[in-house]
Amino acid sequence: MIGNWPGLWTLFVKEVKRFTVVFMQTVTAPVVSALLYLFIFSHALAGRVDVYPGVSYPQFLVPGLMMMTIIQNAFANTSSSLIFSKVTGNIVFVLLAPLSHLEFYLAFVGAALVRAVVVSIGVYVVAFFYVGTTVAHPLLLLVFGLLGGGLLATCGLLAGIWADKFDQVATVQNFVILPLTYLSGVFYSIHSLPPAWQALSRANPFFYLIDGFRYGFFGHSDVSPWLSMAVMAGANAALCILCLRLLSRGYKLRG
Amino acid sequence: MTAAIAVRELHKHFGQVHALRGVDLEIQPGEFFGLLGPNGAGKSTLINILAGLTRPDAGAAAVLGHDVQRDAVAARRAIGVVPQELVFDPFFEVRDFLRIQAGYYGVARSNRAWIDELLRALGLADKATTNMRNLSGGMKRRVLIAQALVHKPRVLVLDEPTAGVDVELRQTLWAFAQRLHDEGMTIVLTTHYLEEAEAMCDRIAIMSHGTVVALDDKRSLLGRHPWYQVHVRLASEPAQLPPQVLACLVSREHGWLVLRLQRGGDDLSRVLSALHTAGLSVLEISTREQTLEQVFLELTAGHHLPAGA
């Protein structure tokens, strides 16, 4: 139950301010990184990779890179905020406040979604002038963007709750999130892969995020967007329940 | 009347360490209460449980009738806690930080004037737009005190608020704490500076090894101690003291004999008589009441772990 809307709003705004204070690091840098991927890969692989009919390879890259920024920034926002607060001890200010575990969760995830959406829009705006990508299903785009951001923000919260030091969060980021992102079809369609790799890709939850997001742009996807939506909704629900249970028990937060 | 703080049979373990061993405590509204004890006595664990930062293994604790586990949000609204650790949020300026804290309680707008008053009262007005990371340790401590008060709690817990701070801040803090107490706020103080507790607190609990070994009003606590000190200065340095004097001699300090005598007995007359018989002239004599520090040391030093601990 949410009984403290002002408190929830305050924590949300504080978390948004936290990343805007370091805007260059949290927004500008990821946009520039994604655009570098776009320029380099589109020059190196244009004409060599089969994608959807009527879609150029640079256009194909844009939704993948947007979702990649959503994934990475949503995860980074919650995980870095929480582990930083835990290590420095200032998490105490939030724990002392009359906020329920649900309010805590919604504020952190909400702020991570804002960062993820801002960065992905930044990528889109610049990419639009470069490759002229249009959107076929804006609503689906929004739904997959929120599902992806929500899922990774929750993953980041879980990592932040579990970790005792920055190194542990970096381990999750570099050895789980990053490989799953790169192997999810950001840079290629899984139809171009051998059958065994295709099957493996379907076991990667991030594949459904990027494939569904790409459907929002082009109206084409490797699997049904409804299947992708169902998988992502289920994953969001499962991780959300797990995260709320840990927060309500105070796991690694309240001694 | 609902107790400001009620603690019943509270237990807490950290691994093999039994930090709280069935603590019972009740603090009435409006009290200035001292919680004393050596390091590791369990004071901070008890405070963290009251603040909702730590979960007890057994027992119950309530703030103004709100159970800190079952009714955690209401309990947290009722209490303000100054943490012992010097923590701060480096992303924000002082006033912004305090407004954020007030916002968690839903009083960011209504308490703006109060926040400005806190800044003035705690000598932070000229630091309001300074980033927290650029403050000195003493200034950070002041901000911690202000953050505990932004929502005007009815119970304030000061967990060693003067540890490592200068005299000026101590005086500012105690004057402000006294004002809040006069206005009806319940204040719980833990400190290593026992003279502070002696000066400020109405009632005092002394903890040792996770239990409350003494709980009484200050005067009773001091009065229950059966000893007092007598300082005697003799006309000349004696070659040998009479056995009646040696029996109660604590120390010799700069020509003074420090004697510990039992309250209500005839020790003093026997000592003076023995000195006179030995031909030793007394130049000066003064008596000193026991301080809280002496009571504290006696109670905590003599307290042994319970059997089976």
Whether residue A195 has pLDDT greater than 90: no
Enumerate residues 52 to 111 of chain A having a beta carbon within 8 A of any beta carbon in chain B. 88-90, 92-100
Preferred mutation among A11, A12, A14 to probe B, highest tally of B CBs within 10 A = A14
Task: Establish how many alpha carbons lie within 13 A of residue A135's alpha carbon, considering only the half-sphere containing its beta carbon.
Answer: 16
Are residues A10 and B103, on separate chains, in Cβ contact within 8 Å?
Answer: yes
Residue B289, helix vs strand vs coil: coil
Cα separation, B173 vs A212, in Å, equals: 59
Chain B: residue nearest A4 by CA?
B106
CA distances for B241 relative to B233, B237, B254, angstroms? 13, 10, 16
Query: Regarding the domain with residue range B5-222, which homologous superfamily does it belong to in the CATH classification?
Result: P-loop containing nucleotide triphosphate hydrolases (3.40.50.300)
Structural domain contains residue A255: no
pTM metric for this prediction: 0.87
**Separation CA A104–CA A110 (nearest Å):** 10
Which of A174, A230, A184 lies closest to A211 in space, CA to CA? A184
Taking the domains of chain B in order of start, what are their residue ranges?
Answer: 5-222, 226-289
Mean pLDDT of B72-87: 94
> What was the pLDDT predicted at B303?
53
Q: Is the ipTM of this complex over 0.85?
A: yes
Q: What is the DSSP string of B8-58?
A: EEEEEEETTEEEEEEEEEEE-TT-EEEEE--TTSSHHHHHHHHHTSS--SE
| A108 part of a folded domain | yes
The C-alpha atoms of residue B94 and residue B115 are separated, in whole angstroms, by 10
Verify whether the Cβ–Cβ distance A93 to B77 is below 8 Å.
Answer: no
Q: How far apart are CA B240 and CA B217, in angstroms?
A: 42
Measure the CA angle with vertex B153, ends A81 and A92; round to 5°: 20
Asked if residue A254 belongs to a domain, the reply is no
- CATH fold for the domain made of B226-289: Alpha-Beta Plaits (3.30.70)
- In chain A, which residues have their Cβ closer than 8 Å to the Cβ of B52? 95-96, 254
- Average of per-residue pLDDT values in chain B: 89
Partner residue facing A98 (CB), from B14, B77, B90: B77
pLDDT (0 to 100) of residue A49: 74
Give residue for tokens 């916002």: B103
Is the pLDDT at A99 greater than 80? The verdict is yes
Give Cα B274 distance to the centre of its chain: 41
Whether pLDDT at B305 is above 50:
no
Contact B73 A93 (CB under 8 A): no
At B302, the pLDDT band (50, 70, 90 cuts) reads low
What does the pLDDT average to over A84-100?
96
Tell which A residues from 9 to 28 touch B, by Cβ distance under 8 Å.
9-11, 13-14, 17-18, 21
Q: What is the pLDDT of residues A9-26, one digit of tens each?
A: 999 999 999 999 999 999
Q: What percent of chain A has pLDDT over 70?
A: 100
Q: Which residues on chain A are in Cβ contact (under 8 Å) with B88? A: 88, 90
Mutation test of the interface with chain A: which of B104, B107, B111, B131, choosing the one with the most A Cβ atoms within 10 A? B104
What residues of chain A lie within 8 A of the CB of B81, using their CB? 96
Mutate to test the interface with B, among A2, A8, A10 (most CBs of B within 10 A): A10
- In the numeric block, the tokens 């840079």 are attached to A187
Residue A205 above 90 pLDDT?
Answer: yes
Residue A10 within a domain: yes
Q: Measured between CA atoms, how close is A54 to chain B, in angstroms?
A: 48
Instruction: Provide the number of structural domains found in chain A.
Output: 1
Dist CA A51 CA A17 (whole Å): 40
The mean pLDDT of A18-47, rounded to a whole number, is 91
Work out the average pLDDT over B196-205: 88
Cβ atoms < 10 Å from Cβ of B112: 14
- Of B53, B88, B106, which is closest to A4 when you measure between CB atoms? B106
Task: Tell which residue, B196, B181, B202, has the closest CA to residue B30.
Answer: B181
Domain span at residue A142 reads 5-249
Look at A93 and B106 and tell me if their CB atoms are within 8 Å: no
Inter-chain Cβ pairs, chain A and chain B, closer than 8 A:
77
CA distance B71 to B50: 12
Amino acid at residue number B113: A
Report the alpha-carbon distance of residue A62 to residue A128 in Å, rounded: 9
